[in-house]
Structure 1
Amino acid sequence: MALNVHQLHIFYTVAERGSFSAAAQALHMTQPAVTMQVQALEERFGTKLLNRTTKKLVLTEAGHRLLPQARKAVELMRDTDEMMIKFIEELKGRLQFAASLTIGEYVLPRLLGPFLRKFPEVSVDMKVMNTTEIIEAVANQGLDFGIIEAPCDVAGFDAEPVMDDELMLITPANHPFAYRDEVTLEEVIREPMVLREKGSGTRQIMEDELLRHGISEENLRVVSEFGSTGAVKSAVEAGLGLSLLSVWTIKHELSLGLLKPVKISGVRFTRQFYAVRLQSSLLPMPAAALLHDLRELSHE
């Protein structure tokens, strides 16, 4: 009997999720179907792979030996999917994923248009959530993946960088800095600042980079803090102060001549956006296609 890659994927999911019921939910299968496929794999090898106790599943010695090979099989299937994206002319299906605030509100809406024109038979359902909610939704609500603004170190998840981002100093169009290509950090810290709230990804990137240059939060003239990027942009446009925001978030205001991004000499506020998904999951083709396009865009 030939080795069944689908059965390896099911076994890997059961081992990673710790129960047949959890694996069945992740794989969108019934629990009896999952159990039957694992039993068929055990029959093929002629040995038990899992010991079923009342409390949990425990891998046997054979199961421990098989697990890394099953993981390689799952990874190979993922890689094959992504490779074949380049050769697919027609793609159909429903793409369900989540994105954190900056990405979901300002980055992806601009990029989904070209993607959907390229694949008109694909439909998109994107939810905007914070990182904790995204992890929960991917784990338990059947979302294909999530895109977040920082690395994810959660057991059972893979996090892969898919896009680059940079924060820049944002000024009103009539501010003296707006007529210059660069300003110094010493000039910036003398200006009133309006910032995202503490704990936001944008705020954390700013604080970390400034600390590398010996500038703490106490050195800044913070006059206002806001819980959304839109409010920060409105405050800068109204002249309340300057800010540091992702270049993705001001494209509309830049096209209208309302705001201006300015470089700070010797300082770069860079980060990456990460796609997170369950290690035991296989991305559907529309999801693999979108992530492929985002990576390609990032390297242009």
Structure 2
Amino acid sequence: MALNFHQLHIFYTVAEKGSFSHAAQALHMTQPAVTMQVQSLEDYFGTKLFIRSTKRVELTEAGRTLLPFALRSIELMKETDISMSKFTHMLEGRLHLGASLTVGEYILPRLLGPFSAEYPNISVSMKVNNTKLILEEVLNHQLTFGLVEAEVKHPDVHTEAVLSDELKLIVPQNHPLAERERIPLEEMLKYPFVLREQGSGTRRVMEEELAKAGCDVSMLKIVMELGSTGAVKSAVEAGLGISILSQSSVRHEAALGVLKVKDVEGIRFTRSFYAIYLSSTLLPISAVTFLTFLRERDLSQWL
């Protein structure tokens, strides 16, 4: 029997999860199949790699010795996929991902066209939801990976910044601030705001940057909180208030002149969008190819 990467990946996952059943769930395998592969690996080396108990499995001395080599093999496989993905233009497959609201509604649609032109044989399926639900579906193996507006801190999830974005002050075309080039903070605060709901990535970035600038966000004149960027844009266009939104989300309205995009003096509302996926998962080559596309292309030509 020859040593193979698949067995090393299973061994590492069992060690990381501390359980054959949890490893089986993470790997989309049955527990007997995981146990069989680990036993095959133990047969190959002629030694036990785990001490089994009713509550948890623990590494033997041999298992502890093997663990860093297994990790290096996983990292090398990931690096190999990334390096080779740029050559896989005839790759066929399905890219299944989730995206949070701003990313899915306003950013990715402009990038999927160029991606599909370069990789015409990869079909794309995208689910749009809020960050919390996208994370839940990644954890439950319902989504391969997600692109979200907030950095995710979870022990089982790898998080990587792959896109940047900037929020701007948005005002209707006939607003007193519409003809001003740059808006002083104290001037902006005089007007009523229409904002995304509490907990949204857009709202969080806005509040954090205002707080850094010494603004008490509780003093904002918030007249309306809405659950989608589209609803906020419509409310601003109707003259109900001003807002802070991703400039990518208002390109169409700004081109038509119905909304004006302004900078606020002394403040930049910048943020990143993040790719999230299970640390124990080896992404399919279609997903690796798409993430490589996001990392290496000049995306500003489409955004």
The alignment's TM-score, normalised by the length of structure 1, stands at 0.93
The structure-2 alpha-carbon separation of the partners of 1:25 and 1:121, relative to structure 1 and needing over 3 Å to count, comes to: farther
> 1:222 aligned to 2:249?
no
Q: Within 5 Å, give how 1:185-196 maps onto structure 2.
A: 185-196=185-196
Structure 1's 74 and 48: CA in aligned 2 closer, same or farther, altered over 3 A?
same
1:202 aligns with 2:205: no
- What is the aligned partner in structure 2 of residue 35 from structure 1? 35
Does the aligned pair in 2 maintain the 1:163–1:298 contact within 8 Å? no
| Counterpart AA for 1:140 | N
2:22 & 2:183 partners in 1: Cα distance?
Answer: 54
From the superposition, tell whether residues 296 and 247 of structure 1 become closer, same or farther in structure 2 (CA, over 3 Å): farther
Question: Which aligned pairs between 1:107-122 and structure 2 lie closer than 5 A?
Answer: 107-122=107-122
**Residue 62 (structure 2) aligns with:** 62
- Label 1:87 to 1:289 Cα distance change in 2 as closer, same or farther (>3 A): same
In structure 2, the partner of 1:240 is 240
Partner Cα separation in structure 1 for residue 74 and residue 24 of structure 2: 16
Corresponding residue SS for 1:89: coil
- Output aligned runs, 1:20-31, within 5 Å: 20-31=20-31
The alpha-carbon deviation at position 252 of structure 1 amounts to 2.2
Q: Which amino acid aligns with 1:271?
A: R
CA distance in 2, matches of 1:248, 1:18: 44
Amino acid across the alignment from 1:252: H
Contact 1:102 1:249 in 2 (8 A): yes
In the TM superposition, what are the counterparts of 1:1-300 in structure 2 within 5 Å?
Answer: 2-297=2-297
Aligned length: 300
Q: 1:2: how far off?
A: 5.0
Q: Using the TM superposition, give the Cα deviation of residue 299 of structure 1 relative to its aligned residue in structure 2, in angstroms.
A: 6.6
Pairwise CA distance, 1:20:
2.7
Name the CA distance, whole Å, in 2 between partners of 1:171 and 1:163: 25
Identity of matched residues, %: 58
Question: Aligned AA for 1:31?
Answer: Q
TM-score normalised to the size of structure 2?
0.92
Gaps of 5+ in 1: none
Q: Distance in 2 between matches of 1:218 and 1:13?
A: 46
1-side partners of 2:73 and 2:32: how far apart?
A: 23
Secondary structure at the aligned position of 1:205 is classed as: helix
In 1, the alpha carbon distance for the partners of 2:299 and 2:70 equals 32
Structure 2: tracts of 5 or more residues without a match: none
Look up the SS of the partner of 1:154 in the other structure: coil
Cα RMSD (Å) of the superposition? 1.9
Partners in 2 of 1:298 and 1:118 — Cα distance? 14
